[in-house]
Amino acid sequence: MSDRASPLVVAVDGPAASGKGTISRRIAGRFQLAYLDTGLLYRAVGAKMLEAGLPLNDQEAAARMARGLEQPDFHRQDLRLPATARAASIIAQIPQVRQALLEYQRWFARNPLGGMRGAVLDGRDIGTVICPDATVKLFITASPEERARRRCAELAQGGNPADYATVLSDVIARDKRDRERASAPLRQADDAHLLDTTNLAIDEAVAKAAEILEPYLR
């Protein structure tokens, strides 16, 4: 149960295109919580590195970009492109980049916007590193094939259609990088609830997530 002296924190982690973004946004609306898509922070750094033509293994430059992020960087048109996702997962391996983004994420969790009751953060290391003391943690998965199918549909809807085989191999390569990196790798926290959405429509997945979270968020 939640300690009402401090804001509620819902930590949501999982691999690429597992449904965690949509689920987190809808859970936030339902329980009056602020929402932070932490992937956008990494995507913004990746997009700026690509735009500047800098090599993605330039640790100093990537850390400087991460420290210098500003509001307009989160409204760029290129954040959802596959090339940006790939770049994000490469710069996300750099410890100085992660360090630069950590304080903002923790601040957001502790200071929910607009007088909300708490916050939902989704990412890869929220339950393990950013908010290990979260009120409740979810780890959302689905098979790689189903995730690639969903990502293809999302890309097509956003006007950037992509080939299924390419998206599937991108998703698999990104998962591998995210799971195998030394700094804050993707993994299920010991105390996280597992939700496999492979065979669930989005409304069913949101309903399942709400059922798990409800006792903690009353």
Sequence-ordered list of residues with C-beta below 8 angstroms from that of 72, at least 6 positions apart, any chain: none
Asked whether position 131 contacts ligand CDP by CB under 6 A, the answer is no
CB of 123 to ligand CDP, least distance (A): 2
If one asks whether residue 39 binds ligand CDP (CB under 6 A), the answer comes out as yes
Site for ligand CDP in 44-83 (CB under 6 A): none
With beta carbons less than 8 A apart as the criterion, state whether 58 and 29 touch. no
Contact pattern for ligand CDP over residues 152 through 181, marking x by CB under 6 A: ----------------------x---x---
Tell me the number of residues near ligand CDP by CB under 6 A: 16
Nearer to ligand CDP, 118 or 127 (CB): 127
Residues at the contact surface with ligand CDP, assessed by CB under 6 A: 16-17, 21, 38-39, 42-43, 85, 88-89, 92, 123-125, 174, 178
